[in-house]
Amino acid sequence: MNHTPTLASLADDLAAGRTTSRKLVEACLERIDDSAGEGARAFVAVDREAALATASAMDELRRRDAAPSAYAGIPISIKDLFDIRGQVTKAGSKVLANAPAADADATIVARLRQAGFVLIGRTNMVEFAYSGLGLNPHYGTPLSPWERKAGRVPGGSSSGAAISVTDGMAHAAIGTDTGGSCRIPAAFTGIVGFKPTAARVPLDGCLPLAPSLDSIGSFGRSVACCEAIDAIMSGAPLARRDIAPLNRLRFAVPANVAFDHVDNEVASAFETAVRRLSDQGIQIDRIAIPEFDRVADINAKGGFPAAESFAWHRRLIEKAAAQYDPRVLVRIQRGAKQTAADYLDIVEQRRALIADASKRIAAYDAVMMPTVAILPPKVSELADDAEFGRLNLLSLRNCTLINMIDGCAISLPIARGDNAAPVGLMLAKERGQDATLFAVASAVENIVSR
C-alpha cells in the first residue's frame, strides 16, 4: 500500500485485494485510540461498531463485484456540524449536548453512504464554527502536526477534520467553509482543503453559521481526493476538462490586502512557489483587486456571520448564554447591534462586490495568494483576548475575500522539507468555475507540492 495513501491509491489497493475495508478501518481506529495521539481531541464521537460493520459489508460487496463505488470501504470523518441519523449534532458545543438526535442523515452524509464510504466518527470543531484558529474550550483543541510539542493550533473551524487526515485517523474528511474553515486548517496542517461555490453542495442537515456564506468542502491528501468527494457530495459528474498547456495559464496575484502583515516564512514560501510556476511558463500578473479593499468595510459590524448566527442563536442564548465559549458568544452577539437597514446594506454591497470581482478575475485561470497570512500560532499565545482577536482576523482574512465574492477556492501545501513550517497556497476562481479550478489546481500541485 502507498505510504501516504490517496483515495485513488486506496481504491486501487481495494480493487486489487492488497487491502480490505476492515483493515483500513481497524488501522484508523488504532490511530484514534493511541493514547499518545490526538484522537481524543480530534473526535467528539467515534462510530466504532458501525464503522466495522460497514467495512465488513463493503468487503463482502466487493467480493461479489457489487461495490457501490471505487471508494467503497474507505474511512472518512464528518465534522460535528452535520446530522447523522440517530446522533446528536452538537456543533462543538455544550449547549446542544442534550438536543434530540437527528432523525435523518444530512444530504451529503446520505450521498457519502451511498458511495460506500465508512463514517469513522464526528470530528471536533470550533464551537458553532465561529473562529479561524481552532480552539475549543469544551472538548479540547487538537494540535497541528508541525511542532506538536510546542502546542500549535490546527486552524478552524474544521480543526478535528484536518487532524483526522494528517494523523491517519481517516483518509479524507468533510468540513464546512464560511470564511475559510476548510482552507485554514489545511494550510496549518499541510494538506489539501477545498471550498466549493456555495450553492454547489446542498446544505440540508448542516447546522448553519451564516447561510449567505456557508459552503461544504473537504480535506484530502491530494487535489484529486477533494475533487472525488466534491463530485459525490454535489452530485456532479467526476469529469475534468483538458487544461491549456502550462505556458498558456495566467494567474493574478493581488497587490492589495492579501499580503498585509504577512509572516516572513509565508511570504518566502509563496515567492518560491511563484518562481517555480513562472519557470514552467505560467504567466503571473500582480494586479490590484479593488473589490478586496471593500470587504473589511462590509464586515465592519460583523457582516453576515454576526447577523445570521444571532438570528439562529438568540433564543438559545437567552436560556444558556453561560454555556457558550465566551469568545464565540461575543462574536454572535455583535449581530444584535445590526439593524435591518445594516443587513440590507451588506446584502446589496455584496451583490455589487460579486459582480465587480467576478468580472475582474474572469480573464485569469486563477487568483493566487497565501491561504493564511500567518503561521499557526501556539495555543499559549492566545490566552490574551486582544491577541486572539488579532490573530483570528489575520487567519481568516485572505480566505474570507473569496467567500465574500461567492467564489470557489482550494489550498495546496507548499512547504518544502520535513520540518518546514506549513504554508498554504490558495487558488481561487469566480463562482461556478469549480471544475476549471480543479483542473488548474491539479497542474499546479504537481509543481509546488512535490
57 contacts: CB under 8 Å, gap ≥ 6: none
441 contacts: CB under 8 Å, gap ≥ 6: 223, 366, 410, 412, 427
Q: Which of 157, 164, 234, 309 is catalytic?
A: 157
Residue 284 pairs in a beta bridge with 251
Residue 281 cell numbers, joined: 511558463
- Report in angstroms the alpha-carbon separations of 260 from 179, 353, 374, 388, 394: 18, 21, 10, 18, 9
At residue 193, the 3 state secondary structure works out as: strand
In this structure, the strands spanning 366-370 and 250-254 are parallel
C-alpha to C-alpha distance for 33 and 38, rounded to whole angstroms: 9
User: 286-289 contacts: CB < 8 A, separation 24 or more?
Assistant: 286/252, 286/253, 286/254, 286/255, 287/252, 287/253, 287/254, 287/255, 288/254, 288/255, 288/256, 289/252, 289/254, 289/255, 289/256, 289/257, 289/357, 289/360, 289/361, 289/367
Alpha helices in 17-128 (DSSP H): 21-33, 39-42, 48-63, 107-114
Q: Which of 77, 79, 215, 395 is catalytic?
A: 79
C-alpha to C-alpha distance for 177 and 76, rounded to whole angstroms: 18
Q: Which of 77, 144, 181, 395 is catalytic?
A: 181
Contact 291, 350 (CB under 8 A): no
Contact 359, 383 (CB under 8 A): no
Closest C-alpha to 110, from 38, 174, 195: 174
Closest C-alpha to 184, from 199, 194, 171, 174: 194
At residue 130, the 3 state secondary structure works out as: coil
Residue 222 cell numbers, joined: 491530494
Contact 329, 138 (CB under 8 A): no
Residue 216 pairs in a beta bridge with 176
Q: Which amino acid is at 202?
A: P
Please say if 79 is a catalytic residue: yes
Please say if 149 is a catalytic residue: no
Please say if 157 is a catalytic residue: yes
Contact 167, 144 (CB under 8 A): no
Task: Give the residue numbers marked as catalytic.
Answer: 79, 157, 181
